[in-house]
């Protein structure tokens, strides 16, 4: 008898698992159950549909050749039965049957399986805020939501007498991407975030760069703010968002406070859930029932740096896991999934922010003896047109010198530099090894010493006690505490005029040794330059003259993320 494979969930991991299973077993009976009316779509493209970059929403469920991945496509091209509007309501593990209900007809049916793949994804969190059910209040998770959101935006624009107003509740990835899309459409947008920073997955100083840039692009940002209620008109349409200290007018509200793994079916079936609340799986993506696999946002992951369970919902991970689950559903537990490195990347207008591995606070909480370094460079040589800035923060363990994490921000090619650390982070490489990676080089693509190599060498110098960098957040704390120190600005007079920085004593690097007598020796000295390199050179020069307690401001003026 042909093998019967049932996949529950038809967005990302599910279709990938089914397609992989079909390629390995041309005779298998493969069925996908999808509770929604659309399947196999790129949900990460929803904000770009709102912005107009993706004009037709159906493009998000098309192949590269333009075929729409609907029931007919899966039947004719894949010979897979895709059932949309089919809600799996029970898994009978002893008899190996799935009970599902057609949403339209209400009819209930049984579907037997030999192997089952759970790809139920994640659900958007809807907080218990009064007024969350008002018209023009959206949660962006399902395919239809994306179309409704754009239609509401267009209708609001058509009747607006002035600038339409939107409030985004939650300044995470989806919230900021939708904020950009609405700013592109000439809306006034306010992002309300309960945490003390935007994009809480970033380290604070990296998030501060993003917030500073976002404000410059017109986004009103309210961090450390909690929404108390959504206020509506007599007709039931949202009109404002009430906070503790103010009320923000709103013609449209997006609630984007996060997602949670969709595990109710697994829980009801008695499958074991992990400490993150997602479905526990082994390295083969098997659940506690060896006949059932789980992949995508519903499944728990292993963090390759910490070695601990984690939950990172991401479309790329879902597809990679789907392939592994599809392989093992056919061949048995033969292929393993190595885990995830905690990747994140987003674009906000011309700015890119990215991270991989552990953040600084996370690494410290896990018991690592952490050292960090911040370095600013250019993604191309200065003489090449279009050269832009890249700021990288590297995190390492002092004892082993192992790279633990990297974060980046800038208008340059940040993504390429952070992406290059995937293999080092997943294989346990040291910063010394990262510094000597044989990265691509040609002037149109990179300077001879790539920004990643510069950052790694900076961290090596700090680990070796040669460089004594002062992170921007620490120097800001010194300023707030009015700690006595001497800030020496080693840039040229022209740089002072074009890129001012308050409080510095101007002594160009070339004159530093000759004018060292002007620098007090009775309290700490901080050296400042444009990117950090000349500050480091000045630190070494003063130490050669017998100065103690000399540091340089990491990242220099370009790396300063604060408005103060």
Q: Summarize the confidence of residues 144-160 as an average pLDDT.
A: 94
The per-residue pLDDT for 91 is 98
Question: Would you say residue 445 has pLDDT above 80?
Answer: yes
pLDDT digits (tens, 9 = 90+) for 282-308: 999 999 999 999 999 999 999 999 999
Q: Summarize the confidence of residues 388-395 as an average pLDDT.
A: 98
Q: Summarize the confidence of residues 273-279 as an average pLDDT.
A: 98
Q: Residues 119, 294: contact at Cβ < 8 Å?
A: yes
CATH of the domain at 215: 3.50.50.60
The per-residue pLDDT for 285 is 98
Question: Would you say residue 483 has pLDDT above 90?
Answer: no
The per-residue pLDDT for 345 is 97
Q: Give percent of the chain with pLDDT exceeding 90.
A: 95
482 plus 449 within the same structural domain: no
Final residue in a domain of this structure, among 281, 304, 331: 331
Q: Enumerate the active-site residues.
A: 44
Q: What is the residue range of 402's domain?
A: 350-463
286 plus 374 within the same structural domain: no
The per-residue pLDDT for 426 is 96
Q: Summarize the confidence of residues 96-125 as an average pLDDT.
A: 96
118 plus 146 within the same structural domain: no
158 plus 251 within the same structural domain: yes
Query: What's the structural domain count of the chain?
Result: 4
Backbone angles phi, psi at 340, to 5 degrees: -130, 155
What is d(CA 3, CA 313) in angstroms, rounded to the nearest whole number?
A: 30
378 plus 441 within the same structural domain: yes
pLDDT digits (tens, 9 = 90+) for 497-506: 899 998 889 9
Final residue in a domain of this structure, among 281, 299, 331: 331
The per-residue pLDDT for 107 is 94
Q: Summarize the confidence of residues 323-331 as an average pLDDT.
A: 98
The per-residue pLDDT for 511 is 96
Q: Residues 256, 169: contact at Cβ < 8 Å?
A: yes
Establish if 129 belongs to a structural domain. no
Q: 351-371 in b/e burial notation, b at 16+ Cβ within 10 A?
A: bbbbbbbbbbebbeebebebb
436 plus 359 within the same structural domain: yes
E strands, 219-291, are 220-223, 227-232, 238-243, 247-249, 252-255, 259-261
Q: Residues 406, 421: contact at Cβ < 8 Å?
A: yes
233 plus 216 within the same structural domain: yes
pLDDT digits (tens, 9 = 90+) for 446-475: 999 999 999 999 999 999 999 999 999 999
The per-residue pLDDT for 482 is 83
What is d(CA 91, CA 99) in angstroms, rounded to the nearest whole number?
A: 6
Q: Which two tokens stand for residue 61?
A: 């469920």
What is d(CA 95, CA 557) in angstroms, rounded to the nearest whole number?
A: 66
Final residue in a domain of this structure, among 431, 463, 495: 463
The per-residue pLDDT for 564 is 62
What is d(CA 105, CA 85) in angstroms, rounded to the nearest whole number?
A: 10
- Give me the half-sphere count of Cα atoms (radius 13 Å) on the Cβ side of residue 161: 0
CATH of the domain at 513: 3.40.250.10
What pTM value is reported for the model? Answer: 0.95
Establish if 63 belongs to a structural domain. yes
- Identify the band that residue 160 occupies on the pLDDT scale cut at 50, 70 and 90: confident
Question: Would you say residue 479 has pLDDT above 90?
Answer: no
In the DSSP assignment, the letter for residue 271 is P
């Amino acid at each position: 008898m042909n093998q019967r494979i049932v996949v529950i969930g038809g967005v990302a991991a599910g279709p990938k698992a089914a397609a992989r299973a079909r390629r390995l077993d041309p005779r298998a009976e493969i069925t996908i159950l999808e509770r929604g009316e659309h399947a196999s779509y790129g949900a990460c493209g929803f904000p770009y549909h709102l912005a107009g970059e993706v004009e037709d929403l159906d493009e998000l469920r098309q192949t590269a050749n333009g075929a729409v991945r609907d029931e007919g496509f899966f039947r004719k091209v894949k010979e897979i039965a895709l059932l949309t509007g089919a809600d799996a309501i029970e898994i009978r593990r002893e008899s190996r049957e799935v009970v599902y209900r057609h949403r339209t007809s209400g009819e209930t049916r049984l579907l037997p399986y030999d192997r089952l793949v759970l790809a139920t994804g994640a659900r958007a969190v809807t907080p218990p805020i009064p007024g969350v059910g008002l018209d023009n209040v959206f949660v962006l998770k399902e395919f239809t939501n994306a179309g409704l959101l754009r239609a509401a935006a267009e209708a609001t624009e058509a009747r607006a007498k002035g600038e339409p107003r939107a409030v985004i509740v939650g300044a995470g990835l989806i919230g900021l991407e939708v904020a950009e899309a609405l700013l592109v459409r000439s809306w006034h947008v306010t992002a309300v975030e309960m945490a003390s920073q935007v994009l809480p997955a970033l380290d604070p100083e990296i998030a501060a760069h993003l917030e500073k840039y976002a404000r410059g692009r017109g986004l009103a940002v309210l961090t450390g703010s909690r929404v108390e209620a959504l206020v509506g008109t007599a007709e039931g349409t949202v009109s404002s968002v009430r906070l503790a200290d103010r009320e923000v007018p709103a013609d449209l509200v997006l609630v984007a406070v996060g997602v949670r793994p969709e595990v109710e079916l697994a829980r009801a079936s008695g499958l074991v859930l992990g400490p993150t609340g997602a479905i526990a799986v082994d390295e083969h993506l098997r659940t506690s029932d060896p006949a059932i696999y789980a992949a995508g946002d519903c499944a728990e992951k292993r963090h390759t740096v910490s070695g601990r369970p984690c939950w990172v919902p991401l479309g790329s991970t879902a597809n990679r896991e789907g392939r592994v689950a599809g392989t093992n559903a056919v061949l048995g537990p033969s292929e393993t999934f190595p885990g995830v490195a905690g990747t994140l990347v987003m674009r906000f207008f011309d700015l890119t922010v990215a991270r991989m591995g552990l953040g600084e606070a996370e690494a410290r909480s896990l018991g690592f003896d952490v050292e960090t370094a911040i370095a600013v460079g250019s993604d191309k040589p200065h003489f090449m047109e279009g050269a832009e800035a890249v700021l990288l923060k590297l995190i390492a363990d002092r004892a082993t010198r192992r790279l633990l994490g990297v974060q980046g921000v800038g208008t340059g090619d940040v993504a390429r530099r952070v992406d290059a650390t995937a293999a080092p982070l997943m294989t346990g490489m040291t910063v010394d090894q990262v510094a000597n990676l044989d990265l691509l080089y040609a002037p149109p693509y990179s300077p001879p010493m790539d920004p990643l190599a510069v950052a790694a060498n900076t961290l090596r110098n700090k680990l070796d006690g040669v460089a004594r960098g002062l992170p921007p957040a620490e120097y800001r704390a010194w300023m707030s505490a009015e700690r006595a120190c001497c800030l020496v600005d080693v840039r040229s007079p022209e740089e002072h005029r074009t890129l001012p920085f308050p409080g510095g004593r101007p002594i160009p690097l070339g004159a530093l040794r000759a004018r060292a007598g002007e620098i007090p020796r009775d309290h700490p000295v901080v050296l400042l330059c444009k990117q950090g390199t000349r500050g480091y050179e000045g630190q070494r020069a003063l130490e050669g003259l017998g100065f103690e307690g000399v540091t340089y401001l990491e990242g220099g003026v370009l790396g300063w993320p604060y408005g103060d």
